[in-house]
Every structure is written in C-alpha cells, then in structure tokens.
C-alpha cells in the first residue's frame, strides 16, 4: 500500500502548473472508478438504503416506529427470530464440530493424497449445494416416500421416523442445514489446521506430552480463535439461508427468511407494507454483528498461523 503511494508525489513535484495539472489528473483518475460506483449505487447501496429507511416508514413514506414495534412485539415475528437464531446456533455448532473432526481426519493423511483431493473437491461442491436441490435430496432420503423411510418400513416393519413428517420440523431443518455446514467448515478450517507446524507436535511428544496434552496446551489454544471464527461464519451462513427452507416448507413461516417471503408475496395488510423491511433490517443487524466478530477473530488467527 505505502510503496504504491510513494511514486505519486515524485511525479507531481516539479513546477506550479505541473502541480495543477497533477491535481486535474488525479481528478480524472477518480473518474475511472465512476462506472463501478454508479453500478453498485443502483444495485447494492440503493437497495440497502431502501431496506434501512423503509423499516422506519409507513405506507405513505412518513417516519414511524410501528414496523419495528410490530417485529418486536408480534409473537410470530419474534418467534421466527428465535427459531432462526436457534437453528443457526445448533447447525453452526454441529457443523463446526463435525467439520473440524473431518478436517483433522483429512489433514492426518498425505497432503497430496487422493482422499484429500476428493474430500476438498467434494466439499467445494456440497458447501454450495444449498437450495432447492438439497431439500429434494433429503425428501428423497427421509421424506414420506424416501429411501430410508421405506427401507426401515420394509425391512424392520417399524416406522421410527414417524413416516417422514419430522423432516419438515426443526429437527429436519437442523439435519438438512448441517449437511452444507460440514463441508463449509472443512473448507474454512483446513488451512488453519495445516498451519500447525509438525515441530510443535514433535516438541510436545519429546517432552513426554501425551496426545491429549498436545491438544490441550498447544494445538487447542492456537486453533481456538480460528475455530470460533469459522463457527461464526457458519452461523451467518445458516441464518442467511433461504432456498432450502423455502423448498422444504411451503406452509407456515417458522424462520425469518420465510416471514420475509410471506411479507413479499402475500396480500399486503394495510399499514404493514414495510414490516418485511423491518424484518430484513433485523437480519442485517444480526449478520453484521456476527461478521464483525468473525473479522476480529480472523485477525487474531492470522497472528499465529502464517
């Protein structure tokens, strides 16, 4: 950054007129960024502005707090926030634990081994494999006519999964969400695990430390910020997810994104036109808090693992 700034003053130093020309040139230099700024203003900053201001406006555009009030005091809206946060929390923890274990199991193998290549490539796909297709995958597995549901009914004659209805509930959502959380955790956490130097392990071993002692006093503390940061990322990922839940649940709106869907698609109740924006603002706030913590932890992690 600084070494790039350095040559600029040298170029504009010589005489007065040159300086003026330099200022003009700097202005034209800023003009080069204009197309980009114009585009993001229309399609990113303006929409954000609409959400943020709309949350505080009534149907006629006058300032009001009634949208926020509706979200905070309306039991359906508040519950959806609690369920969304609970679901994100559960799947972030499950995904982080199993993803970290998977990353460890992969990192134990040879760095250029086939297993490693396959797992990393598959994780790249499966972490992206949210959405509608994932919902179908689980309906084909645990749904009413799902592979596992039928298999259990045919071979054991029992129906422990209550005919597949559970997949539409909280447990079902948790199982489905964890499916894309584990691969994401692997992608995010594997580099941190690889940052552990084998010398540290050797030092611990040669001093008589057990495997447990190594993880308790060396590996664990070094990886802890990275692990927590990755878990936060997973939380934000689950909290923002919409497509899977939308494809799975077509009636009722237990999650915030689904509440926003019904606010957008259903008939607008008079005076409630902007409640969707208040819900959206709530989501932005939660995600922003989580991502800020993530950024802070990320800085700590990079201090150790270079």
Partner 1 sequence: MAAVTRTRGSRWVLRWLVLVVVAIYLLLPLLAMVEFSTRGAGGTRSLDAWRGIGEDDDLVGSIVASVELAALTVVGMLVLLVPTMTWVHLRVPAMRRVVEFICLLPLTIPAIVLVVGVAPIYAWVTYLVGDSALTLTFVYVVLVLPYAYRAIDGGLGAIDIVTLSEAARSLGSSWFQVLVRVIIPNIRGALISASVVSIALVLGEFTIASLLNFDTVQVVINLLGKRNAGIAVAVSVAALLFAFVLLVVVAYLEPRRRDAQEDDTTAVPAPQEARS
Phi, psi of 231 (to 5 degrees): -65, -40
Burial class (CB in 10 A: 0-12, 13-18, 19+), 92: buried
**Which is closer to partner 1, CB of 50 or CB of 74?**
50
* Touching partner 1, residues 28-67 (CB under 8 A): 29-30, 32-33, 35-37, 39-40, 42-51, 54
Which residue pairs from 263-270 have beta carbons closer than 8 angstroms and sit at least 24 positions apart in sequence? Answer: 270/59
DSSP for residue 246: H
CB of 150 to partner 1, least distance (A): 9
Separation between Cα atoms, residue 16 and residue 152, nearest integer Å? 86
**Which is closer to partner 1, CB of 68 or CB of 243?**
243
* Touching partner 1, residues 135-164 (CB under 8 A): 135-141, 145-148
CB of 291 to partner 1, least distance (A): 5
**Which is closer to partner 1, CB of 179 or CB of 227?**
179
Q: Which stretch binds partner 1 (CB under 8 A): 60-68, 70-78, 102-110, 165-173?
A: 102-110
Assess 246 for contact with partner 1 (CB under 8 A): yes
**Which tokens sit at 197?**
């130097």
Separation between Cα atoms, residue 166 and residue 153, nearest integer Å? 15
* Touching partner 1, residues 215-234 (CB under 8 A): 233
* Touching partner 1, residues 104-133 (CB under 8 A): 104-106, 108, 115, 117, 120-122, 124-133
**Which tokens sit at 29?**
């230099």
Separation between Cα atoms, residue 249 and residue 167, nearest integer Å? 10
CB of 270 to partner 1, least distance (A): 19
Distances (CA, A) of 115 to 109, 110, 120, 272: 8, 8, 9, 53
* Touching partner 1, residues 161-200 (CB under 8 A): 179, 182-184, 187-188, 191
């Amino acid at each position: 950054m600084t070494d790039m700034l350095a040559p600029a003053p040298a170029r504009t130093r010589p005489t007065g007129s040159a300086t003026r020309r330099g200022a003009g040139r700097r202005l034209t230099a800023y003009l080069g960024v204009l197309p980009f700024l114009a585009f993001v203003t229309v399609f990113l900053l303006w929409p954000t502005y609409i959400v943020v201001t709309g949350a505080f406006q009534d149907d006629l555009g006058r300032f009001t707090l009634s949208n926020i009030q509706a979200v905070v005091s309306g039991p359906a809206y508040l519950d959806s926030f609690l369920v969304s946060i609970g679901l994100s929390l559960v799947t972030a923890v499950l995904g982080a634990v199993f993803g970290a274990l998977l990353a460890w199991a992969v990192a134990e193998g040879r760095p250029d081994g086939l297993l490693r290549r396959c797992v990393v490539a598959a994780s790249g796909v499966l972490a992206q494999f949210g959405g509608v297709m994932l919902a179908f995958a689980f309906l084909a597995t645990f749904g009413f006519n799902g592979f596992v549901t039928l298999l259990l009914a045919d071979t054991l004659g029992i129906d422990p999964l209550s005919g597949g209805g559970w997949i539409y509930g909280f447990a079902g959502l948790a199982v489905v969400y964890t499916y894309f959380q584990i691969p994401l955790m692997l992608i995010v956490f594997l580099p941190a695990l690889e940052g552990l130097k084998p010398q540290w392990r050797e030092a611990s071993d040669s001093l008589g430390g057990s495997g447990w002692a190594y993880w308790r006093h060396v590996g664990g503390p070094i990886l802890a910020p990275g692990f927590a940061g990755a878990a936060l990322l997973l939380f934000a990922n689950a909290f923002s997810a919409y497509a899977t839940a939308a494809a799975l649940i077509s009636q009722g709106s237990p999650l915030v994104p689904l509440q926003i869907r019904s606010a957008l698609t259903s008939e607008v109740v008079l005076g409630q036109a902007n409640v969707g924006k208040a819900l959206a603002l709530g989501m932005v706030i939660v995600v922003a808090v989580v991502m800020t913590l993530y950024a802070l932890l990320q800085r700590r992690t990079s201090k150790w693992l270079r």
